[in-house]
């Protein structure tokens, strides 16, 4: 049994490309349809109802593309809405919380894990709940970092501004002595260098996008749903706002040109 249909991936903006990049490496034969909701980014400051509403329309759009599985590459949606959303679609959903939390539990040596994410993610307590359920001895230290997403969406990966904001947000977590830090939003790996410099060598950074790609690979393997060959147009990208910014930043990040591969859609129709 093989399944050559595409993998659907969605996120509030271009952060989910950190997951796409890893999926491309882990599963080179798979085709991917990506939707970045750039018109409504960020999700992290929205109410639970709004997050669920937006996610449902994102998934409806992907289902029209006949995808075989959906990767929820948005930390906020994975934390706040995943179980609720799973009831509404006929295919499997994979979120970043379980994947990243499991990796952090395996990585920590001193049982102190930091969690950073959007306001919505941190408020939901999803990472903390999952970690506690797997190992009650682990202490978690959490911090919402609302400015990180706009920084990334505006190309501030490795700038003075990024350094100042990182110091502001992460000083307390650093002082708590964590040896592992979950980057609980798929935008955050784009700030990895800045965060790693600030946290120091002794701290392992857990990249939610990389972990979700590994979980996806094992899920598709178990279900006999791996693709035999890639589609002619292997990667397709859709956004709900301006294409240029997404092409430039996304292309820089994926290290391949996205010119004429990105299409704008009206997400309000879904």
Q: How many CB atoms lie within 10 A of CB 47?
A: 10
| 145 part of the active site | no
Select which of 97, 165, 181, 185 is catalytic. 185
DSSP 177-188: T-SEEEE-STTG
Q: Which residues of 179-191 are buried (b: 16+ CB within 10 A; e: fewer)?
A: bbbbbbbbbbbbb
Among the residues of 87-232, which ranges form H helices?
Answer: 96-107, 119-124, 126-134, 148-153, 160-175, 192-199, 208-222
Select which of 59, 74, 181, 258 is catalytic. 74
| 74 part of the active site | yes
Phi, psi at residue 151, to the nearest 5°? -60, -50
Tokens 């937006």 sit on residue: 54
Give, for 117, the enclosing helix (H) or strand (E): strand 112-117
Q: Which residues are annotated as catalytic?
A: 74, 185
């Amino acid at each position: 049994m093989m399944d050559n249909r595409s993998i659907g991936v969605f996120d509030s903006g271009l952060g989910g490309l950190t997951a796409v990049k890893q999926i491309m490496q882990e599963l080179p034969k798979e085709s991917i349809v990506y939707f970045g909701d750039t018109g409504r980014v960020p999700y992290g400051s929205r109410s639970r109802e709004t997050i669920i509403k937006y996610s449902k329309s994102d998934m409806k759009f992907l289902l029209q593309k006949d995808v075989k599985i959906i990767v929820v590459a948005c930390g906020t949606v994975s934390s706040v809405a995943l179980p609720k959303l799973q009831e509404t679609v006929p295919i499997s959903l994979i979120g970043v919380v379980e994947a990243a939390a499991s990796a952090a539990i395996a990585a920590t040596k001193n049982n102190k894990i930091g969690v950073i994410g959007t306001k919505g993610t941190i408020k939901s307590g999803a990472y903390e709940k999952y970690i506690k359920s797997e190992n009650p001895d682990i202490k978690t230290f959490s911090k919402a970092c609302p400015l990180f997403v706009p920084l990334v969406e505006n190309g501030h990966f490795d700038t003075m501004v990024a350094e100042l904001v990182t110091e502001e947000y992460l000083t307390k977590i650093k002082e708590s002595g964590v040896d592992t830090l979950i980057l609980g939003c798929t935008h955050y790996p784009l700030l990895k260098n800045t965060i790693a410099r600030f946290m120091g060598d002794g701290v392992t950074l857990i990249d939610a996008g990389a972990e979700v790609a590994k979980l996806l690979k094992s899920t598709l393997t178990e279900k006999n749903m791996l693709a035999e060959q890639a589609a002619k147009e292997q990667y397709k990208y859709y956004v709900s706002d301006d294409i240029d910014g997404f092409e430039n930043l996304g292309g820089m990040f994926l290290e391949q040109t996205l010119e004429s591969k990105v299409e704008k859609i009206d997400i309000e129709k879904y």
